[in-house]
Amino acid sequence: MKRPESALFGTNVYESALYSNLQSTVGVLRTIARWTIMMIPAQIFRLIHINGLLWQATNKSLLAKLRKKTGYTFANCKKALELHENDITKAEAWLKEQAQQYGWTQAAKLKGRNTGQGLITMTVDGRHAVLAEINCETDFVARNKKFHCLAETVISTVLNHVRSQEIQNEIQRTVFHADSLKVLTAMDGKLLSDHSALTIGNVGENISLKRALVISVQSPDVRLFGCTHPAPMNPIPVSFGKYGALVAIKCKENDEMLGTRLCQHIIGMDPQKIGNPRVDEPHNNMDEEQCMIYQEFLLDPSLSVQQLLAEAQAEIVDFARFEIGEEVDEEPTLKNAQTCG
């Protein structure tokens, strides 16, 4: 039986509509596919970009932290982090190792250069008072923070060394010449010669550890005082200057002002000995007087030092004075610190 024309016509209309819808669906799918293809690379790009920014931020943070901690250059810190895959502990150790090697290389190159400038550093700690002289080439480096750090390391190392020794006399002096200073071990386990070489590499000048002196006392009635000149803004616990003085005074009371003023007198008047009134006589020319007790007191010329001490019921039992660049008697063959009563 034949289909009616209407049925055939209806079938054609249905198929046409279906085909049309299919085309629309395919078009939509193609559009979605195109957008998907376009969106995936953009998302990947944004992901890579964001990750890159995070990586850069992390690296910059580590770099800034390493630079602040070590003080080394941007390029060196970056190289250290790259070599050790951003392990900041290993990077820091590598930087210090490289700096130490470079310091010894520089020290060898600059060894013959004159070191006429520097610092006298002083500290007083209970029964021990210390003076040390560290030299460099220029006054500019003498004011450098890294040079100051070296001076602090030297004097603290000397102080720790004498603390470990027994005081055998009521008043005891321990003298360190250049050779004996270099072989002392600092708190970090390094020799002072290593610390000196490291600072040479940092500041680019020759540095020499010239000398140190410690006055140690047994009796609680003997008190130690010290100062440097020019007087620093913050002299505690270590003081720096071009001149330094220590004095040991036997007195009943701890007279800080008397001790400081006597140190200032020692720096300004440069006495060669304390003087003994039973043995020494005053010099005919007051300007050439070398016995401290007969000198005019620097801060009050109307008094002699002897009169000042009599008023304070005090006695000077020892003193020391350092001046940057002054000639000193040194024993080049001395291996250890020299101790005397």
Q: List per-residue pLDDT tens for the chain, 341 residues long.
A: 444 444 444 445 555 665 566 666 666 667 666 655 555 555 554 544 554 444 455 567 777 887 777 777 777 778 778 887 788 888 778 777 777 777 778 888 888 899 999 999 999 998 999 999 999 999 999 999 999 999 999 999 999 999 998 888 899 999 999 999 999 999 999 999 999 999 999 899 999 999 999 999 998 899 999 999 998 766 668 999 999 999 999 988 888 999 999 999 999 999 999 999 899 999 888 889 999 999 999 999 999 999 999 999 999 999 999 999 898 765 443 344 555 55
Same structural domain, 232 and 296: yes
Is the alpha carbon torsion for 101, 138, 115, 266 positive or negative?
negative
Both structure tokens of 91 = 């990077």
Give a yes or no: residue 148 inside a domain. yes
Kindly state the DSSP code that residue 144 receives in the 8-state scheme: -
Is residue 286 domain-resident? yes
Residues 151 and 186 in one domain: yes
287 in the same domain as 148: yes
How is residue 129 annotated by DSSP?
E
Residue 266's pLDDT is 97
Examine the domain organization and report whether 102 and 125 are in the same domain: no
Helix ranges restricted to H, 111-255 = 139-142, 145-163, 178-182, 192-203
Tell me whether strands 208-217 and 171-177 are parallel, antiparallel or unpaired: antiparallel
Same domain for 315 and 192?
yes
C-alpha–C-alpha distance, residues 295 and 50, integer Å = 78
| Residue 1 resides in a domain | no
CA distance 149 to 134: 11
153 domain-assigned: yes
Give one word for 117, left, alpha or beta, with left for phi > 0 and alpha for psi -120 to 50.
beta
Which candidate, 316, 258, 261, places its Cα nearest to that of 292? 316
* Domain membership flag for residue 12: no
Count CB-CB contacts under 10 A for residue 61.
10
My answer on whether 83 and 126 are in the same domain is no
Q: Which pLDDT does position 9 carry in this prediction?
A: 41
pLDDT score for 158: 97
What is the reported pLDDT for 54?
44
Same domain, 103 and 76: yes
Residues 223 and 279 in one domain: yes
92, 299 in Cβ contact below 8 A? no
Based on the fold, state whether residues 85 and 154 are members of the same structural domain: no
Assigned domain for 316 exists: yes
Instruction: Return the CATH number at 188.
Output: 3.30.479.20
Which residues lie below 8 Å from residue 260, measured CB to CB, with a gap of 6+?
225, 227
Predicted local distance difference test score (pLDDT) of residue 265: 97
pLDDT given at position 236: 66
- In a shared domain, residues 149 and 292: yes
H or E element in which residue 1 lies: none
One domain for residues 68 and 182: no
We report the CATH number of the domain holding residue 83 as 1.10.8.10
pLDDT of residue 81: 80
Crossing angle for the helix pair 145-163 and 192-203, to the nearest 10 degrees = 170
pLDDT for 324 equals: 96
Q: What is the pLDDT of residue 37?
A: 52
Q: Is 85 left (phi over 0), alpha (psi -120 to 50) or beta?
A: left
Which residue range(s) make up the domain with 85? 60-110
Q: Would you tell me how many other CB atoms lie within 10 Å of the CB of residue 270?
A: 15
Give CA–CA dist 164/156, Å, rounded. Answer: 13
Q: What share of the chain is helix, strand, coil (3-state, %, to 5)?
A: 50, 25, 30
Integer Cα distance of 132 and 238 in angstroms: 11
Residue from 276, 256, 257, 274 nearest 320 by CA: 274
